[in-house]
A and B are shown apart, each in its own frame.
Chain A
């Protein structure tokens, strides 16, 4: 069924009794051309673009929980393409362009809101670094504006401009950045893939990968053996667990990142605002809750929950940036497991095993990349050749000294 204002109206007249589930719950077939491990945003987007752009429809997406239970439903919903480095920038800009046309493309309201992303700067050196970043973005055809203190003050009068440690001097703004309703992204891709013949199999945990003559022939799952022509990993924080099944060691550590939502408030934060110096960023959802987060807790973790010490740190940083937050009550907090790579950039590549593909290492930047990650991964799987914007995300770049270290902190995953 195609969704439209007319279909909403018609179904309302019929008492909303005719709505169908957005995707099926099929029994897995014995064999698929492509099996994708991981029904998160990236896995579903990959299946969607495989079917829609590359004509590969005999595809299964295996999800150990339910659709939307992992990181695609645990992030802070921000989209942006304000990257400095050459390997990153065109890729994230492709993602931004896909976001801009996504709702029409998959016929689902994902509430894409290009409300602008501001990165605050607090010193001359930071201003220079942001000027450089903004110039690099503009050279790649991405929008960027360097705002001075007065302009930021007019836009965001509630910030603490005269903070003793980090006085605000201005901000780098990407107007096309913003937020997207993350659940709708998962549902929209799932529905789009399903309607093109992809089987989405929930509550199906992969327990082993069967190999014959050096090739993958299928996966052992909690719902039995499923054969495949090609196997694609998109397991995010659990990438190491899956890669261990083929004895492949990854340049990845799993860490927990927390996020928070406050009680509903009247609209007062129009944009996404980041306070990198204090480890805090915030936006306001359409329901009125402030959505905010900080840095990762810092130790290896597969638990989807974090520590109170980090909660306290994030709250302190938030109040330092916006003193009015001191009276806001936090409604919920949660944690997601991040696949932190050794240079802070992802991996979309073939592996030493012929028909096994890897998509991992998204750190805490995976959500904004969902469309481009799916598109590039689908391209790689269908054609066995990387998409031109995803060429730099190679698995062997660490051994070859071709790191994409956007933050410049080296191979220390808990610092990225």
Chain B
């Protein structure tokens, strides 16, 4: 993991200020989506070696939820954005 995360609100901050939540690429199914969709949502993960989007919370800063796109092999961070500005699928909602 890189040493700094560039928070869109606070600027580059040490990553110890942040708390990881996990995969930001999984979308919560509608309540009656069926067992297969819920199984996939709760248990299955892409777990890529390479580019990966994750939810991180800026716990010791602005306390906003962020989406951090980073590399799980090299630890490079490609992009950081506020989770509230993401499109519906990465906010964890489906139509």
Contacts and interface: CB of A to CB of B under 8 A. Distances in A.
Interface of A: 238, 240-241, 249-254, 297-303, 307, 309, 342, 398-399, 411-414
Contacts of A413: 45
**Interface size of B as a range:** 20 to 34
A126 B72 CA distance: 36
B20 A299 contact: yes
Interface stretch (B35-43, B59-67, B86-94): B35-43
Between B16, B49, B73, the greatest number of chain A beta carbons within 10 A of the residue's beta carbon is seen for B49
Contact of A253 (B1, B15, B40, B47): B47
A342 B43 contact: yes
B65 to A, nearest CB: 15
B9 interface: no
Interface of B: 1, 15-16, 20, 22-23, 35, 39-40, 42-49, 52, 54, 72-75
B22 to A, nearest CB: 7
B1 A301 contact: yes
B20 A254 contact: no
B41 to A, nearest CB: 10
B44 A240 contact: no
Top 6 A-B residue pairs of the complex, sorted by shortest distance between their CB atoms? A240-B47, A251-B43, A398-B43, A299-B20, A302-B49, A249-B44
Nearest to A301: B72
A300 B47 contact: yes
A347 to B, nearest CB: 12
B53 to A, nearest CB: 10
Contacts of B48: 240
B1 to A, nearest CB: 6
Contact of A252 (B16, B35, B47, B75): B47
B15 A303 contact: no
A321 B16 CA distance: 24
B35 A399 contact: yes
Contact of B15 (A251, A309, A399, A411): A309
Between A241, A299, A307, the greatest number of chain B beta carbons within 10 A of the residue's beta carbon is seen for A299
A300 B43 contact: no
A299 B24 CA distance: 12
Contacts of A249: 40, 44-46
A333 B49 CA distance: 23
A241 B49 contact: yes
Between A240, A249, A300, A398, the greatest number of chain B beta carbons within 10 A of the residue's beta carbon is seen for A300
Nearest to A254: B47
Contacts of B1: 297, 299, 301, 307
Nearest to B42: A411
B22 A412 contact: yes
B34 to A, nearest CB: 12
Given A297-B1, A298-B20, A299-B20, A240 B39 contact: no
A247 to B, nearest CB: 12
B75 A303 contact: yes
Given A249-B45, A252-B45, 16 more contacts: A240-B49, A241-B49, A249-B46, A251-B43, A299-B20, A300-B22, A300-B47, A300-B72, A302-B72, A303-B75, A307-B15, A342-B42, A398-B43, A399-B35, A399-B43, A412-B22
Contacts of A254: 47, 49, 72
30 contacts: A238-B49, A240-B47, A240-B49, A249-B40, A249-B45, A250-B44, A251-B43, A251-B44, A252-B45, A253-B22, A254-B47, A254-B49, A254-B72, A298-B20, A299-B20, A301-B1, A301-B72, A302-B72, A307-B1, A307-B15, A309-B15, A309-B16, A342-B43, A398-B39, A398-B42, A399-B35, A411-B42, A411-B43, A413-B45, A414-B22
